[in-house]
Structure 1
Amino acid sequence: MRLTVDLRFNGPALACTEDEQVLTLVELAGTVREPRRLRALLRGRDLEEVCVLRDERPLNGVQAGALALATLSSASRFEVRSAGNSTAGGHAAMRTRAATALAIGMPAELARSTRWLARARRVSATPFSLPARPARDLRRVSYLRAEPSLRWLGAQVGGAATHTTGVINGLSDAGLEVSVFAPERPEGVHGANCECVPPRHIVQLVHWLTLVGHTQRLVSAASEVPADLVYQRYALGSYAGLELARRLDVPLVLEFNGSEIWTERHWGTGRLAFVRTLAALERRNLLDASLIVVVSQPLKDQLLEMGIEPVRVLVNPNGVDLQQLTALRARPPAHWRSRAKLPQAPTVGFVGTFRLWHGVKLLPELIESVAAHRDDARWLLIGDGPLHGEVAAEIERRGLSERVWLTGVVAHAHAVELLACCEVCVSPHVPNPDGTPFFGSPTKLFEYMGLGRAIVASDLEQIGEVLQDGRTALLTVPGDVPAAAAAVVNLLDDEAQRLRFGAAALAEVTARYSWDAHVGRILAALE
């Protein structure tokens, strides 16, 4: 058997062969808390080879520790691979290599983390006095993405990637000169100058400190380019937008999609180191940005409760690239199913990250309930995430696997092509677990509308504001699976109704929710 240990940051998911087991860094770290499982993994009698995948960057302390752990296995062959290099050897050579990496990597990570934590504390206590409006005609914009990568499981997918591309293209289409500074070029961008600024170091003992450390590198690159405005999508631990705007003496537009501290507490591990410092840094970003763009009214309400002035907060829902979808709207679902070599059956689609708030745990029951009335219906579930395995297992347990295609992560362009194969698209979002208002603006919603497809969605906060029940969609009470199933069956049974809803949804999204309209509202708020 071969054990592959993937230490890469945000690398693509690996497919296992029959005689191979793949562990990510997070998964390997999890086994440390289960000594018996770890011993069985590393000392199994059939283990013959260990392959470690790494980045080109120097190993940080956690990665070096994982490498050292892997070399304790009973395998007779070891190999370490990176993009441009491969090293093979036996026990002694690899253990020496791992010990050296750990002796260098762990002290370096601790030292960097200490310096960057002190910097975060200084920054969070220091006001940034930024102009409220551009001092001259707005011609040049610097757009920042501060995260270590724009990719998730190796691909630029999800609402964040779509939003980034939409806003950049919207700014360019408005006649502005846009310079983008990001770890890699955002896919689908046209008309903007892009400079790739990846982080030199990634720390993992306190992961958000990576963005504190990366801020200076990002700002140094961006400060060489003149700008009349800085735009940053807020990222946990970053203050790059504040710093760049201060250096250039220009306003900062901060795109804020919700507190990532709240998200980590309720939808993540729940563990955040130095959370008081992190909260102070998040608050500093919000207090000092010239304009904060949020996607929903509940987010604005949260900011007002923090004392942010209402005039500095713009509610601006997500949007869609209508031109990108023109060809997909021009032909019916059967045409696109034929192109994709899918069965010619009425098809229901879902796209999104397999996380709790997307309502993915309801999908198996929903599929089963629809099948009871429409045995011919098939489903396309597009995406991946922490709950993907659980949802897939439940679909199999209910005997529904032949009705469902779980695609995993696919490129955005391919995802919308697959959605075009569907007669009906669903958005079964559920309320926040702590009872607070749902603050999302689901990108999938606008893409469903832009495709002119019939929609079944939860009547939940902004979803119920963007969609009108009985005119542009069928809305159901969040979590009410029988009602959602009845709505799906209703639409599958009535082609005329599907076409009427799809046309009304397309008209609505064209009038109000293109990315050009989204950017237009931001520019108007800066006048």
Structure 2
Amino acid sequence: MNTRTKRIAYLCFDFGVPMFGTKGAAVHVHETVQSLRRLGHDVMVYSPVSAEMGSYCEGYTALPVDGFAARVLDNLAQEPVASSSHLPKEWRSLLYAEHIQKSLRSRLVDFGVDVIYERYSLFGYAGIELARSLGVPILLEVNSPLSLEQARYRDLVLTRTAAELERLILTSADAVIVVSDDLAGWVRQLGVPSGRIEVLPNGVNPEVMDPCVGRDKVRLRYSLTGRRLVGFVGSLKPWHDLDTLLNAVAQLHEKDERYHLLLVGDGPRMKQLRARGDPYVTWTGAVPYDEVPSYVAATDVVTVPLGGRADSYFSPLKLYEAMAMAKPVIGARVGEVKAAIADRESGLLYEPGDALDLAGRIEEVFQMPDGGAGLGASALRWVLANRTWDRNAQRITEIASSLLAKRAA
């Protein structure tokens, strides 16, 4: 198969994914792009303007809404409905899908694009239209069932439009890359043929997530020396079952005050969770990506709390990063977490929503003669063999090459 270097346009039109932010989605974009570039591909990234991104960075181009479209958005923001409804944001996405086709097409022609790779966003049909117009294949990356997720956890007004556009976009892509087997099943139900679906879970960059990073820096900063430190790293979103985690650590702290939770991240549930006033929790807020390893290194065990079946679509980035740092990990027995952790070999599993079971698994790690080091070593071997961004980039290259070969035949 011809895997020659290619000119790849990477489209990320989700206004909620800043290119250089701390979110897992931003890490996913950045690491995928860097891995593709290490293979020799010429990759240009296109995104709406964000405060974190600025107007231009090498290889990254911010394409804001301008002209009359920008004035329309300004006026939409002033509508009475804007303060109490998600509708203006949905209009913005639809308007951007039309606007970006006009402003980006000539850039892609000048670039000599071979392949479009797009991170799917709700109402985002511009990539499909551009690929058709330019006669190039499009690989569509899907990270969650967005219309379902938006309606359940946030707000969605144009439910019918969102669902129908989602079906049309996904079934129109030349290849659909999903991050879990359960998500592949959902995509298949929408009508995407199995032959177009590829499962590529999130990955790690071993050069960033290094097991040799010292543990003392963060412990000293937050006065955590001598603690039995349980860690969580991630966005404080509803699908992260942090109530169960907090209740589990509460049970342990009641028996032994050395137990403590280091909660690294920020998100919509921060205010609500902090209002509990738990004395056994240290809240750090969001930290830069390059500082995450020092926070993971500070912990004795890393937890991945998730809810039940409805949350099994996700690919837990922070689980893989903890495994890459040889940490003993404890995850909910659901979806990709269950698939990644071989129970009592590369980590421990607990029943979702069961704080008593989670507390027992945490205590079990501290009772191990090696403090879970054997679990961590096994986790490291597994994740380096199965979950790296470079491995994903190689597979993306193979898919793109196959699609280009079919078009040339």
Which of the five TM-score ranges fits, normalised by the shorter chain?
Answer: 0.7 to 0.9
Superposed, which structure 2 residues align to 1:235-384 within 5 Å? 235-269=121-155, 271-273=156-158, 275-326=159-210, 329-334=211-216, 336-338=218-220, 340-344=221-225, 345-384=227-266
Alignment check: 8 A CA contact 1:148 1:198 kept = no
Superposed, which structure 2 residues align to 1:105-184 within 5 Å? 137-148=4-15, 150-151=17-18, 156-184=21-49
CA distance in 2 between partners of 1:518 and 1:231 (Å): 13
Alignment check: 8 A CA contact 2:214 2:294 kept = no
Number of matched residues? Answer: 376
Alignment check: 8 A CA contact 2:208 2:293 kept = no
Give the corresponding residue for 1:229.
115
Q: Does 1:477 align with 2:340?
A: no
Alignment check: 8 A CA contact 2:117 2:138 kept = yes
SS in 1 for 2:295: helix
CA distance in 2 between partners of 1:478 and 1:523 (Å): 37
Query: Structure 1 residue 141: deviation in Å?
Result: 0.4
Alignment check: 8 A CA contact 2:5 2:39 kept = no
Q: Give the aligned residue type for 2:111.
A: V
Work out which of the residue numbers 272, 281, 296 in structure 2 matches 1:404. 281
Query: Structure 1 residue 151: deviation in Å?
Result: 3.5
CA distance in 1 between partners of 2:16 and 2:358 (Å): 36
Q: Give the aligned residue type for 1:263.
A: E
Q: CA 1:374 to 1:313, structure 2 compared with 1: closer, same or farther past 3 Å?
A: same
Alignment check: 8 A CA contact 1:138 1:229 kept = no
Q: Give the aligned residue type for 2:48.
A: P
Query: Structure 1 residue 216: deviation in Å?
Result: 4.2
Q: Give the aligned residue type for 2:283.
A: L
Show CA shifts across 1:244-290 (max 9, x none). Answer: 21232110000011222101221123x413x2222222112111100
Query: Structure 1 residue 359: deviation in Å?
Result: 0.5
Alignment check: 8 A CA contact 1:181 1:197 kept = yes
Give the corresponding residue for 1:500.
374
Alignment check: 8 A CA contact 1:209 1:237 kept = no
Query: Structure 1 residue 367: deviation in Å?
Result: 1.6
Show CA shifts across 1:302-358 (max 9, x none). Answer: 1222221100010111111111122xx2145235524x3532122111012222211
Q: Give the aligned residue type for 2:61.
A: E
Compute the TM-score of the two structures, normalised by the length of structure 2.
Answer: 0.85
Q: Which runs of 4+ in 1 moved over 6 A?
A: none
SS in 2 for 1:420: helix
Alignment check: 8 A CA contact 1:374 1:489 kept = no
Show CA shifts across 1:408-434 (max 9, x none). Answer: 2222223332122111110111114xx
Give the unaligned 5+ runs of structure 2.
78-86, 403-409
Identical columns (%)? 26
CA distance in 2 between partners of 1:521 and 1:495 (Å): 40
Show CA shifts across 1:347-392 (max 9, x none). Answer: 1110122222111122321121121333212221112222222211
CA distance in 2 between partners of 1:372 and 1:317 (Å): 38
Q: Does 1:455 align with 2:333?
A: no
Superposed, which structure 2 residues align to 1:440-451 within 5 Å? 440-451=314-325
Alignment check: 8 A CA contact 1:431 1:438 kept = yes
CA distance in 2 between partners of 1:519 and 1:467 (Å): 23
Greater RCO structure (CA 8 Å; 6+ sep): 2
Q: CA 1:409 to 1:165, structure 2 compared with 1: closer, same or farther past 3 Å?
A: same
Give the corresponding residue for 2:60.
194
Show CA shifts across 1:23-62 (max 9, x none). Answer: xxxxxxxxxxxxxxxxxxxxxxxxxxxxxxxxxxxxxxxx
Query: Structure 1 residue 497: deviation in Å?
Result: 4.3
Compute the TM-score of the two structures, normalised by the length of structure 1.
Answer: 0.67
Q: CA 1:367 to 1:437, structure 2 compared with 1: closer, same or farther past 3 Å?
A: closer
Q: Give the aligned residue type for 1:165.
A: H
CA distance in 2 between partners of 1:358 and 1:216 (Å): 34
CA distance in 2 between partners of 1:420 and 1:197 (Å): 38
Q: Give the aligned residue type for 1:306.
A: L
